């Protein structure tokens, strides 16, 4: 008799846990949609600076698909869909979703593209890219981060993301040229090997960071003749001189 009760209790607990996790997933889905909506509104506001009135459909879909809560520590899951940077340990952050969206969008990606990312971090940016393009190659210099990101991306079923641990300065030559490159671990300069590995007509984006925040973005374009030009983009709508806007 007692065994039956125990069995029933276990079944009840298991059932409620499953039900609960299903409900939580739904809550996350809802929160994610809310986050994307906020991002779209922000993008609309910042058109003046970024030149983008709205995000490409592919970017929106990617932001709606990737479960950001899977990329943050358990303690931050409740904040996963707030439009803010979050700590992921090792002194690293997962960028503000708005910044991830705008950086992805500025690369004008196509489904057939091959993208290189320097600085895997949590793997979130790579996952967003992987929703849009054919292949993503991502390199992380901090071993522990690289290992956990690779495991996470595998667990989430991303087959088109290739991870590596090592020095990002020389890129990943075997798979070059790339249609787009994101250097999320920006240094005081742009590594020349990366420019070399960028396909003519390709784009590279570099967030210039200090501590927790992205200061501005550098968008490097290489035209069909191989000529390189850069744009410095403030993702923020901020006119330094009053009365001029």
Partner 1 sequence: MPGSLPYLSIALISASALAYEILLMKLFSIIQWHHFAYMIISLALLGYGASGTFLSLFRERLQSYFPYAYIGNIILFGLSSIFCFIAAQQIPFNPLEILWDMKQLFWMFGLYLLLTLPFFFAANAIGLAFIYDKTAISGVYAADLLGAGLGSLGILGLLYLFFPASILQFIALAALFAALIGFKELSLKPNTGAVLLFVLSFLAVVLLGRVSTLHMNEYKDLSQTLRITGTQIVEERSSPLGMLSVVESPEVPFRYVPGLSMASVVEPPQQLGVFTNGDGMSAITKYPDKMEQLGYLDYQTSALAYHLGDPDKVLILGAGGGSEILQALYHKTKVIDAVEIDPQMVDLVGKKYAGFAGNIYAMEHVTIHTAEARAYVASSAQKYDLIQMAMVDSFGASSAGLQSLSENYLYTVEALQLYLRHLKPEGYLSVTRWLKLPPRDTLKLFATAITVLEKNGVEEPQKHLVLIRGLQTSTLIIKNGVFSSVEIENLSHFCDERFFDIVYYDGLEMSESNRYNILDKPYFFQGTQALFENREQYFSDYKFDIRPATDDRPYFYHFFKWETLYEIFALRGTGGLHLLEWGYLVLLASLLQAIIASIVLILLPMIRFRKAEKITIATSKKRVLLYFFALGFGFLFLEIYFIQRFILFLSHPLYTVAVVLSAFLIFAGLGSRYSKRLGTLKGYRKSARYGIFGILIFGLLYVVMLDHIFGFLLTQKELIKIAASVVLIAPLAFAMGMPFAMGLSELGRHSESLIPWAWGVNGCASVISAVAATLVAIHFGFTAVMAMALLFYLSAYFSFPESLSD
Binding positions for partner 1, rule: CB under 8 A: 38, 42, 45-46, 48-49, 51, 79, 82-85, 87, 89-92, 96, 98-99, 141-145, 165-167, 169, 187-192, 195, 208, 210-216, 218, 220, 228-243
Nearer to partner 1, 86 or 133 (CB): 86
SS3 track for 13-60? HHHHHHHHHHHHHHHHHHHHHHHHHHHHHHHHHCHHHHCCCCCCHHHH
Q: Give, for 150, the enclosing helix (H) or strand (E).
A: helix 143-155
Nearer to partner 1, 8 or 239 (CB): 239
- C-alpha to C-alpha distance for 65 and 166, rounded to whole angstroms: 29
- C-alpha to C-alpha distance for 3 and 31, rounded to whole angstroms: 41
Strand-pairing partners, residue 118, are 139, 183
* Nearest distance from C-beta of residue 16 to partner 1, angstroms: 29
* Nearest distance from C-beta of residue 202 to partner 1, angstroms: 14
Q: Which of 95, 122, 148, 229 is catalytic?
A: 95
Nearer to partner 1, 134 or 216 (CB): 216
- C-alpha to C-alpha distance for 135 and 175, rounded to whole angstroms: 10
Q: Is 95 a catalytic residue?
A: yes
CA 27, 28, 32, 33 dihedral sign is negative
Does residue 154 sit in helix, strand or coil? helix
* Nearest distance from C-beta of residue 178 to partner 1, angstroms: 17
Nearer to partner 1, 112 or 244 (CB): 244
The widest CA-to-CA distance across the chain, in whole angstroms, is 81
- C-alpha to C-alpha distance for 197 and 170, rounded to whole angstroms: 9
Nearer to partner 1, 6 or 237 (CB): 237
* Nearest distance from C-beta of residue 65 to partner 1, angstroms: 21
Residues with catalytic function: 95
């Amino acid at each position: 008799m007692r065994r039956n009760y125990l069995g029933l209790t276990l079944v009840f607990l298991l059932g409620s846990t499953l039900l609960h996790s299903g409900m939580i997933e739904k809550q996350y889905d809802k929160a994610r949609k809310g986050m994307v909506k906020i991002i779209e509104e922000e993008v609309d506001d910042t058109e003046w600076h970024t030149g983008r009135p709205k995000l490409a459909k592919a970017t929106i879909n990617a932001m709606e698909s990737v479960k950001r809560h899977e990329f943050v520590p358990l303690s931050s899951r409740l904040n996963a869909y707030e439009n803010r940077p979050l700590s992921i340990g090792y002194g690293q952050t997962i960028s503000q979703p708005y910044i991830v969206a705008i950086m992805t969008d500025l690369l004008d990606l196509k489904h057939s593209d091959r993208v290189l990312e320097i600085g895997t971090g949590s793997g979130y940016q790579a996952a967003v890219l992987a929703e849009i393009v054919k292949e993503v190659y991502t390199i992380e210099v901090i071993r522990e981060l690289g290992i956990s990101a690779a495991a996470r991306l595998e667990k989430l079923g991303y087959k088109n993301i290739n991870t590596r641990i090592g020095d990002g300065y020389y890129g990943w030559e075997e798979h070059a040229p790339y249609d787009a490159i994101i250097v999320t671990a920006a240094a005081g300069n742009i590594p020349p090997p990366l420019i070399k590995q960028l396909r003519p007509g390709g784009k590279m984006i570099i967030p210039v960071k200090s501590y927790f925040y992205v200061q501005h973005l550098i968008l490097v374009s290489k035209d069909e003749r191989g000529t390189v030009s850069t744009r410095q983009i403030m993702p923020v709508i901020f006119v330094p001189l009053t009365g001029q806007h």
